[in-house]
Structure 1
Amino acid sequence: MSLLLIAALLWIFAATATAFLPMRYQLVPGLALIFGAVVLIGLFFAEFGPLPGVLALAVFLSFFRRPLGHLIRKLTGKARA
């Protein structure tokens, strides 16, 4: 098994453990998971090609759709309507 797949599995376990935390403790690990996922997806594109990379990106966007939306609203200064 490649080192990248092991890293992806560890990311999955970390995301699962973070989901079990109370909401007030999820911010820092959640941000770390988001930035780590961006790196992992980039490495997936480089190592396995575009199809697995696009699938990984789709899974990431599905998994983090609400936190990413919240982060984008915070960064752009737009309040939720």
Structure 2
Amino acid sequence: TYLNVDNEGDFVVKSAPCPFLGADNFCSIYDVRPSDCARFPYTDEDVLLKRPQLTMKNATFCPIVFQVLDRLSEGS
């Protein structure tokens, strides 16, 4: 298998970069990629607010998650 479950119960790829990332920097299994990959970074789902630890972790490496959180905080 190519996934592990981390301390927070999230499925994560065992290696970085992803074993399905091609030399061209594109996903080699894009048409049949796992649903988590298709849904990432979850900015349009309730995961954003219901799983704050995951959201904060994603914000450290995904610029769009950071921007969404930044804009949400501006509205507070």
Q: Which TM bucket (shorter chain)?
A: 0.3 to 0.5
Q: TM-score of the superposition, structure 1-length normalised? A: 0.34
Question: With structure 2 as the length reference, what TM-score do the two structures score?
Answer: 0.35
Larger strand percent: 2
Quick one: higher RCO (CA 8 Å, sep 6+), 1 or 2? 1
